[in-house]
Each structure stands twice: as C-alpha cells, then as structure tokens.
Amino acid sequence: MKIVKRLLLSLLILIVLLVGSAIALPYLFKDKLVALAKEEINKNVLATVDFQGVDLSLLRSFPNFSLELQDYSVQGINEFEGIQLAAGKSASFTLDLMSVISSTRPVEVKSVILEEPVVHVVVLADGKANYDIAVPSETPEDETASEDYSNVLIQLQEYSISNGKLIYDDRSIDVYADARGINHQGSGDLTIDVYDLDTNTEVDSLTVQQSGITYLKNAHATLDAIFNIEQAISKYNLKENELAINDLKLTADGFVQLVEDDINMELVFSSPQNEFKNFLSMIPNAYIEGYENVKADGKFTLSGDVKGTYNGDREEYPSFRIESSITEGNVQYPGLPLGIRNINTQVKVNSPSSDFDDLAVDVPRFAFTLGQNPFQGSFSLRTPISDPDVKTTAKGVINLKELAQAFPMEGIQELSGIINADLRVDTRLSYIEKEQYERVNMDGRLQVNQVSYQSEGLPAVQIKDMQMAFTPQNVRLDNFQANLGKSDIQAQGAIDNILAYFSPEKTMKGNLKVRSDYFLADEWMPAEETASTPAAAPAEETEIFDRFDFTLDASIQELVYDVYTIRNGIARGNMTPNRLSVSQLSGQIGDSDFSASGTILNVFDYLFENGVLGGRIALNSRLLNLNQFMEEEEGASTSTEGEAYSVIPVPPNIDMTIDANIGKVAYTNMALEDVKGEMVIAEQAIMLDNVTARGLGGAMAVSGSYDTKDMENPAFRFKYDLQKLDFRQAFSTFNTFQQLAPIGNFITGTFSSTMIMDGKLGSDLMPKLESINAEGFLETLNGMIVGFAPAQAIGEKLNIDYLKSNINITNTRNWFTVENGTLTLQEYDAKVKDIAMKIGGTYNITNKMNLDIRTKIPRKLLEQNAIGAAASSGFGLLQKEASKLGLNIKQGEFINVLINLTGDIQKPKVGLKLLGAEGEGSVADAAKGQVKEEAQKAIDEGKQLVKETTTKAVDSLKTVASQKAEQAKKELEEKARQEAQKAIGNVVDTATQKKAEELLEGAKKEGADKIKENLDKWNPFGKKKKDGGG
C-alpha cells in the first residue's frame, strides 16, 4: 500500500508540475517569442510589419506550442507606399515546443491558420511586385556554411484560411482579379519529400478582368483537388480535381514543375458537361439569382491544353489550344418578354509555339436571332504580329431595346436604338500600308441610329446617327452626332489602316474632326479621390487603346470644367498616346485669352500609368487675368485690400517648360504689361527664369521659384531687378514691402532695386513675414519723403523747420538685409540741404524701429533757429547737453549729433546725443589708441599749464594779505583746470570723430560688398534647371 501511495503521490506531483509548466511556460517564453517574431519578420522584409496583440498557449496544442498574432498588417514601402499587402484578424501558428526552448534549433512551424486575411497583390507595369519583400541576401549563393541554420523551419502538416479576401492587380499583363469570401484548407504531411496535399477551396465572389474585358463577374467558385507534390524536384501533379464556376464544371490533368527560372507544364482541361446552360452561367450578368428558373437548352463543348515552358525573361511561352462550340442554343429569362434563339458558334484558338505570330484564331460561324432579327458573322486571324491577315463578315440588325427585353441588364436603366451592319473584310495590313488597294477586299457599312443609353451613376448617352463606310482605302466615319449627358458632339474622320488594331506592333493612323457647341467636362471626370480611396484602383472596365497616330481638328464653342468656362476653344495638331504636337490651342476664359503651340509628351503615361507629363509650349495672350484662377478664402473681404487667396497647388508628375509672351497680366491688385520669359513646371514647383515685364511705372525682371511640395508651408525664392518703379504704386501693390519698410508709403518719386528674397507662404498665399530673408539695395532716382512722422519729430527736436516738411532723397543708394522678418538698413550717406547724415538701423514686423542717424549740423543753422525757441529743443537742448559734458559747442563750425529713432512709425521716439561725449562710447574702444595718445598729450600740456599758472599765482600772493592768499590760489587753479579740460575735450572729440568715420566707412563698404556678392552668385533654381522634357 505504501508503494501504491507513493506512486499516486508521485503521479499527482508530476501532473501538477505538468499543468504548472503548461501555464507558466507561455509566459516564461512570451517575451522571447514576441521579440523573435518582430525581429525576424521586420529584419527580413522590405515592408513594415506590425501586430496589435500576441496570444501564447501550451495547453491548446500540447505538447506543441501555440502562437497567435492578432490584428496584423504588412504595409508596403517605396513605390508601394500606402498599399497594404496583407492584413488580418489573426494568424495562428503551432510550433514545436522543444524548438522554441532550444537556442540551437530553428523554430519549427507545424500549422498555420489565418482568420479573415486580406491580401492585395500589385504588380507594376515594369514587373515589380509588392509581394517581393524579402531582403536580398548579401552572401553569394555558392557560399554556404555548414553550421548555418535558419531561425525558422517550415514543417507544415495542415493550414487553413477562413473568410479571406484576395485582390490581384497585375498591370504588366493587364489582369485584375478580386476574390472575396475565400475559405480554404489543406492537409498532408508536408515534412516529407513526396506527399499528397488534399485541398478544398470555396470563393463566394470571383471577378476576373483582362485588357478591359470582364470574363467573370461575382462568380461563385469551388475547387476540390489533390496535388501530388514532389518537393525534391519542385513538381506538382494534379490528381483528382474538379473546378466549378457557377454551374460550369471543369477538370484538368497534368503537372507543373519549377526548374530554376523556368516553369514547365503539361495540362489538359475539359468540361465534362455538355449543356449550354452551364456555359451561360459564366457570362457576366447572366448568372442571376434564381438561375435555376432560366430556360436554356442546347449543347456546349470546351477542351484545351497547355504544354511547354514559361520564362518571362526569355519571352518563352508554352503552346496552347482552346476549342469550344455552342449548338442550337436558346435562352429565356423569367420576367423578360423576349429570348435569344438559334445561338450557334464555333471557336478555335491555336498557338503552337512561343511565337505569337503563329497564333491562329478561327470563328467560322457565329449566329443568333434576337426578336425577329437574325445576326450572323465570321472571323479569322493569321500572323497577327507581323502582318495581320483578317477575314471577317457581319450582317444583321440588332435592336437594342429587344436586347434589353431578352437579357438581364444590371444597372442599365434605358437601352434602345438600332445597329445595322453589312460588311466584309478580306485583306492583309501590308496591302493597305503599301496602297495595293486592288488586293484589298473591304466594303460595307455600319449604321447606328437613335441609340439611347442610361446607366446608374453616368449621364445619359444618345447617339442620334453614326455612319461608317468600309472601303479599300480606309474606314470612314462619315457622320457622328451624339449627346453625351448635357454635351453635344459632332465628328467626322477616317482610319487608314484599321487592321493595325490586331497587331501589338502596329499603329493605327487616321484623322478626326470634332465640333461641339457645348461640352460639360465635369460629367465625365472621375470622382475626386479621398483619404479612404484605395491606393491601387482596379483595372478599367474599358481597355485604353494606346496604338494610334491621329491628326486632330477640334473646335468647342463652350467647354465647362470645374469653375472655368472656356469659350471658342480650338485644338489642332497630331496626337499619339505619348506625344501631342499642338499647332494651335486657343480659347477664352473669362476676360483672358490664350493661344499655344508646341509639344506635350507622355500624355497617356501621365493619365493612366502615373508617368511624368513633359514638353515645351509657347504661350501667347493679350490678357491673362490670374485672379480668376485663384480661389478666394471663405470670409475674405471683397475689397482689393482685403482679398485673400488660397494656395495654388502645383500638380506632381509634371516636367514642362512654357515660353510666355503676354500682353497684360493681372495678378491680385497688380497689372503688368509685355510679360515675357520662361516658366518651368517640375517637382511640384514653378520656376521663373528671367521673366521681364513693364508695370508700376517702370520695368522689372524676376527669376525664382514657387514650391508646393509642402502644401502646409509652400515656399518661394525670387530675385527681383526693378527699374524706375513708382514708389506709391509699388508700395501699395506689394504688401510685403509695406510691412517690412513702411517708409515707402510716405515717399513719392521713382526708385530702382535689386534684391533676393525667400520665405514661406501662408494659407492666404501671402508671405509669412517672420520667415522672410532678403538682401539687396534700393536706389532712389528721385524722391521726396512726405508727411513722415519720424522726420517731423526730429525737426521738432532740433528746431529745424525743413526737416518737418518734405525731404528730398534723390540719388541715394540703400543696402539692406532681412533676416526672419527683421529689416537691417546698412549705414549709408545722405544729405538734407546743409545737414550731412549717416543713416542705419533695424525695423521689424512688430512695427518697432531702432535707427541711428549720425548728423553733421552747421552750428549757425542751430543758432539762428534758437531765438525764441524753447530751451528743450534745438540749440538750447544741445547747449544743455554740452554743459553737462563740459563741452563748448560754440567753437566749432559743425555740431555732430547722434539721433536715435525708436518706437513705431506713427509714434516715434527721438533721442539726441552729442558725439564725443556720451555718444563716443560706441566708437571709443575702436579709436582708443589714437584717443589715448592725443589725450595724454593734452593732459601733459594741461599739467604744465597748471604748474605755470600756479607758480605765477604764488608770486603774486606775496603782495596779498595772507587771509586772501588761499582763496585766490583756488580760483586760479579752477581756471587752469577748465583750460586744460577744454584742450583735452577738443582733442578727444576730433580724434574720436575721425576714427569713427574711418571705421563706419569700412563697415559700410564690407556690408555692401557682401550683399553684392550674394546677388551675383544667386541661383534661382538651386540646381541645374530641367529642360521640361522637350
């Protein structure tokens, strides 16, 4: 009993330990597994992988280990930025426990379960795919290490997908597939070399398109298949299998084998059924709800095979053969009054080699009866690449209203009209190209009358009349009259070599003449994309034909697009998919006219493949009012001063040059004339190169750029050369000038200027003043400062009347810089009548100024105005200041005064300092050498003077009473001190002023030279200018 008890106790302890381990182990190793998962995935992929949660369990799959990633996603990068490759609710993995614990073994994955996965595969036109996210190995393939183990080892025994979604968008071969509601499971021992993989797949909705043709639309599909897989030789053999698409079932036999870069295959397929109704279920829109109630009879056959090797790099393709037939088919849909009868056709497609020029297509007969109207025809195609050889016939009448009464038309609200065909073609393309018309058998007519088409979400289409004639020389469009929504259109034209349509190496040529009284482009523009718009759109419902070379002559009396109306529009030239040669493009928008000619490149690539639109255009206009193209912001005043405009975005993917010659340009409140120059649109920026114009009373040249890569902070960078502009006009037009240099509002006359300026623009398209940096010079050719409060304040302070009135500023050159919105005026020389000045300082966007004006004022001017003046101004004020400093200002011919202006323009503050006293502090250090030497000399002379005077005084004292001696001595000593101080002061003033002038003159020259250098080396483009692709 004791032994039994011990055994039971030991067993109980073991169970507790096992359960405890099962609970504890996931938490012990959770950090390791999470870190391993994120590290391994992101380290080895060219994408961004993330997951929101991780669940670990040992109990769920004991003795294995369970790992579940929750709400995972794989985001593309680089050219696939914004496209989500994969996402899902959860991804569960069963892992070998010991491989997780071991630090030397790779982690073994035994099963994978995906819940609600979404996979979006995109293959670009150049063949690059977003699923190719593996990081390229830096180790050459032939270099392997015997001890090198992968951190993850796939040893699947089962896998499954529940409620998945797959989008496959392959733009290299123009294929688009959308599969939703995917449920799939597979089982088999994937760890051995040869095994059977038993799979079951169901797709609730499958849509397949290629080259604009929809082959399947929302079809239901299932696939039960067993694959025999030979892993060692990468061979996949089909065993028992059945594919069902709606009611059509297909079976296949054969294999697919991967051999290096080749895919070898040998497949045979057929439909075991032979009922027309089964085939009909595959036709888009034919498989309706309640399809079992559709009455259909007739026979159907389908068979084919694919054999050979596929290698895209070598353009090697397998041979293939497809044969199908319909015999005596009839269909009648419930609820529709008419049916389609006597459906008979045979189709044979045979491509015996990789050379698609060997492809043969034969449709010896296709026929049906719709209502009381039979329609029949035939088609044959040989040598489609090198020289299409086409034989085709078509004869009959199709009543579109009867078609709508016989076949379900999802989304179509109205369909009516008559199509009448009677034509025959039997020729080769080479006969037409060589103008061997006697060998061309092509005649007949195609007529379309009174067609009306209305579908959901699109404007109504009415084709009143279309007449096409087939002749040996060409296919003529004799007449085309239609209403497209609210638009009308009339056309005539011809196609010279219509058989070029069948050859991917041939270009269809012709001419087209289009006329319209009114065309509303907005009805036919795609809806604007929003943030929720998928990054990659599905393939278009209609294939874009891109092999044409047409001469175009179009005239539209009124074209409406967005908020713009173009009147009297004319377009003439030659049009190919990627080259539009414009001989005339003209029209009127509002009061603006335009006329252009030139070349536009990559049109189709820009419209359909995200390519770059290039070219070179010559633009001419009598008047171009740019204000009508600028959106006013909500709430903006309607007055000129209050108008505010929003940022104008420069579209991406454009590299175009425009040579402009415009008689008059209106931009905000500015009017320019005779505008000429080059404008480059590239990289979401507009660059101007030496654009010249007349306006604001003079002439100007502008170079620079307007950049909208960052729409929140668009940037500008310009160089202005302004010649003889009117002060009042310029400063009332340029708000930036007004705010940085408001003195301009008080000046009449003309000026010239060269400056460079850069900064950021606000949402109202006005510069952000705090971001502006600039430098340059402004030269007053003739000018008068009128009513300027700071000048009046100086005049009041100095009691000089002519400073209070108008001040002439003819022929001054003013160098300046602006940094972060603060204007710095480099010191310059000026003269107002008899007063010489040196002016410099700063003015900032808070309307605060700090200007220093060093003046040399004639003493007599101040003295003659002193009579009757208050002691707090003019000469009296300066005398008071001089007495404080112990200076005598009555001795010199001129009085040097430092005037400091602070405050704002409307309420200036004026400070006066005598140079050489308190005013000398700013220059004393620079002049201290000379000052010290001269001052010491004056002190020595003063001491000697004091000594001599004192000695004389002592001698005199011998004859004076002793009680008077000390007082007399002191008086004489004070007189001697004043004489010495006067000598010292004169020397200091002279030396200080002389040295200050030398230093300031040097600083002024250095600042001006630096600005000149920056003006000369300025590059408006910052790098080599693009040529616009043309």
- Peptide bond connecting 26 to the previous residue in cis, omega within 30 degrees of 0: no
Closest residue by Cα to residue 329 from 282, 368, 271, 358: 368
180 and 68 in one domain?
yes
Which of 163-172, 605-614, 617-626, 851-860 is the least confident region? 605-614
Query: 86 is written with which tokens?
Result: 């994969």
Is the CB of residue 120 less than 8 Å from the CB of residue 88?
no
- The predicted pLDDT at position 21 comes to 46
1012 and 870 in one domain?
no
> In which band, very low, low, confident or very high, does the pLDDT at 588 lie, cut at 50, 70 and 90?
very high
Ramachandran class of 283: left when φ > 0, alpha when ψ lies in -120 to 50, beta otherwise: beta
- The predicted pLDDT at position 860 comes to 83
Closest residue by Cα to residue 776 from 1012, 496, 430, 518: 1012
870-879 average pLDDT score? 68
69 and 186 in one domain?
yes
- The predicted pLDDT at position 988 comes to 40
Burial class (CB in 10 A: 0-12, 13-18, 19+), 496: middle
33 and 90 in one domain?
yes
The answer as to whether 657 is a domain residue is no
**CA distances (Å), origin 241, targets 198, 199, 321:** 10, 9, 21
- The predicted pLDDT at position 24 comes to 47
The answer as to whether 326 is a domain residue is no
**pLDDT (tens digit per residue) in 728-746:** 888 888 878 888 888 888 8
Query: How many secondary structure helices (H) and strands (E) does the chain include?
Result: 15, 45
pLDDT higher than 50, residue 475: yes
**End-to-end alpha carbon distance in the chain:** 102
> In which band, very low, low, confident or very high, does the pLDDT at 397 lie, cut at 50, 70 and 90?
very high
Choose one of 914, 936, 954: the last residue of a domain.
914
- Cα angle: 835, vertex 838, 839; to 5 degrees: 115
**What are residue 245's DSSP bridge partners?**
221, 248
963 Cβ neighbours under 8 A, 6+ residues apart: none
Tokens 């004859």 found at: 959
- The predicted pLDDT at position 970 comes to 57
Q: What three-state secondary structure class fits 651?
A: coil
904 and 1009 in one domain?
no
Give percent of the chain above pLDDT 90.
Answer: 40
Strands (DSSP E) found in 875-1021: 894-903, 908-914
**pLDDT (tens digit per residue) in 56-89:** 666 555 667 777 888 888 888 888 888 999 999 9
The answer as to whether 368 is a domain residue is no
pLDDT higher than 80, residue 1009: no
Ramachandran class of 49: left when φ > 0, alpha when ψ lies in -120 to 50, beta otherwise: beta
Give percent of the chain above pLDDT 70.
Answer: 78
**pLDDT (tens digit per residue) in 405-441:** 999 988 888 999 999 999 999 999 999 889 898 999 9
Tokens 């990627």 found at: 578
Q: Which of 33-37, 718-722, 842-846 is the most confident on average?
A: 718-722
209-230 average pLDDT score? 88
- The predicted pLDDT at position 358 comes to 94
Q: For 786-820, what is the HEC assignment?
A: CCCHHHHHHHHHHCCHHHHCCEECCCEEEEEEEEC
In this predicted model, which residue has the larger pLDDT, 30 or 514?
A: 514
904 and 854 in one domain?
yes
640-650 average pLDDT score? 62
**pLDDT (tens digit per residue) in 660-699:** 999 999 887 788 999 999 999 999 999 999 899 999 999 9
**Residue type at 201?**
T
**pLDDT (tens digit per residue) in 286-303:** 888 888 899 999 999 999
- The predicted pLDDT at position 960 comes to 44
- The predicted pLDDT at position 290 comes to 86
In this predicted model, which residue has the larger pLDDT, 50 or 324?
A: 324
- The predicted pLDDT at position 16 comes to 42
- The predicted pLDDT at position 17 comes to 44
166 and 37 in one domain?
yes
Please give the residue range of the domain that contains residue 938: 928-1017
**pLDDT (tens digit per residue) in 9-35:** 444 444 444 444 444 445 555 556 566
The answer as to whether 419 is a domain residue is no
The answer as to whether 442 is a domain residue is no
Burial class (CB in 10 A: 0-12, 13-18, 19+), 309: middle
pLDDT higher than 90, residue 224: yes
User: 10 Å Cβ neighbour count for 148?
Assistant: 8
> In which band, very low, low, confident or very high, does the pLDDT at 175 lie, cut at 50, 70 and 90?
confident
> Rounded CA gap, 391 and 380, in Å?
5
173 and 74 in one domain?
yes
Closest residue by Cα to residue 219 from 144, 285, 278: 285
- The predicted pLDDT at position 37 comes to 62
The answer as to whether 241 is a domain residue is no
In this predicted model, which residue has the larger pLDDT, 318 or 1013?
A: 318
**pLDDT (tens digit per residue) in 127-156:** 888 888 877 765 554 444 444 445 666 677
CA 43, 45, 50, 53 torsion: positive or negative? negative
621 Cβ neighbours under 8 A, 6+ residues apart: 592, 593, 594, 595, 660, 661, 662, 663
**pLDDT (tens digit per residue) in 904-928:** 888 899 998 888 533 333 333 433 4
> Rounded CA gap, 819 and 758, in Å?
10
Supply the DSSP symbol for 18: H
> Rounded CA gap, 67 and 111, in Å?
10
pLDDT higher than 80, residue 534: no
113-139 average pLDDT score? 83
The answer as to whether 517 is a domain residue is no
Total domains, the chain: 3
186 and 66 in one domain?
yes
In this predicted model, which residue has the larger pLDDT, 843 or 524?
A: 843
> In which band, very low, low, confident or very high, does the pLDDT at 536 lie, cut at 50, 70 and 90?
very low
- The predicted pLDDT at position 875 comes to 75
- The predicted pLDDT at position 29 comes to 55
Choose one of 191, 206, 240: the last residue of a domain.
191
pLDDT higher than 70, residue 468: yes
710 Cβ neighbours under 8 A, 6+ residues apart: none
**pLDDT (tens digit per residue) in 344-353:** 999 999 999 9
> In which band, very low, low, confident or very high, does the pLDDT at 865 lie, cut at 50, 70 and 90?
low
1006 and 860 in one domain?
no
> Rounded CA gap, 685 and 708, in Å?
6
Q: Can you give the pTM of this predicted structure?
A: 0.66
Q: What is the mean pLDDT of the chain?
A: 80
**pLDDT (tens digit per residue) in 274-288:** 899 999 998 888 888
809 and 945 in one domain?
no
Q: What is the pairing mode between strands 654-667 and 624-625?
A: parallel
In this predicted model, which residue has the larger pLDDT, 311 or 125?
A: 311
**What are residue 552's DSSP bridge partners?**
512, 573
> Rounded CA gap, 17 and 11, in Å?
10
- The predicted pLDDT at position 812 comes to 87
> Rounded CA gap, 547 and 504, in Å?
8
What is the H or E stretch that residue 750 is in? Answer: strand 747-760
Closest residue by Cα to residue 252 from 230, 225, 231, 279: 225
893 and 938 in one domain?
no
Is the CB of residue 714 less than 8 Å from the CB of residue 768?
no
- For 563, phi then psi, to 5°, come to -95, 10
In this predicted model, which residue has the larger pLDDT, 522 or 510?
A: 510
> Rounded CA gap, 1025 and 1016, in Å?
18
The answer as to whether 965 is a domain residue is yes
